[in-house]
Amino acid sequence: MLTKNDHYLLGSLSKTSGIKGEIVVKFDSDVPSKMNKLESVFIEVDGKLVPFFIEYFKEKSFNTAIIKFEDINSEPYAKEYLGSAFYLPAEFKKLLDLVPDDFIDVIGYTVKDQNYKVVGKVLEYFESSANPLLLVETPKNEILIPAHDDLIIEVDDDEKQIIIELADGILNLDDEAEY
């Protein structure tokens, strides 16, 4: 039997959307960026966790999304699940979290600053929970840029680019150094 202890609470089903059985889900935190890669979630029904397969997923705001589940095809049927919690098997939690391992595959990405000016290409990612770093090759040299979640504006896998907020002068540090 599936238990809540083996699963990670994502949020709850808050209201219906439209007449085709779409449900607005509210996440306990931000909508995980890789949520659209999931095939199913578990919904608590009468104290038990029941798998529901996702037909499609649309992000609505920073902590809400619209999910259409297979076999829920009407608003009245969708209403039966409102207020229910939805879960993910604990072993899949890592898939949704922004953990340092997510950055390993950004080697070769173009780094741009907050003004979309090209800074350079990612050569390497240095993992650290306190201060992850990107080694970036610029036209002049190689520099280390902090890759903390708070500084990253966007990671675009399609365009293979990272938009990051850079502190004023970070690109000029080596120009000013005296040896």
- Measured from the Cβ of residue 105, the count of other Cβ atoms closer than 10 Å reads 12
Q: What is the pLDDT of residues 68-96, one digit of tens each?
A: 999 999 999 999 999 999 988 776 766 66
pLDDT at position 107, please?
85
Q: Does domain 100-174 have CATH number 2.30.30.240?
A: yes
- The mean pLDDT of 98-112, rounded to a whole number, is 67
Q: Of 3.40.50.150, 2.40.30.60, 3.30.1540.10, 3.40.1350.10, which CATH number belongs to 4-96?
A: 2.40.30.60
Is the pLDDT reported for residue 134 higher than 60?
A: yes
Segments making up each domain of the chain, as ranges: 4-96, 100-174
> DSSP of 53-89, one letter per residue?
EEEEEEE-SSSEEEEEETT--SHHHHHTTTT-EEEEE
What tokens were used for 110? 């173009």
| pLDDT, greater one: 113 or 104 | 113
Domains 4-96 and 100-174 share a fold: no
C-alpha to C-alpha distance for 68 and 89, rounded to whole angstroms: 19
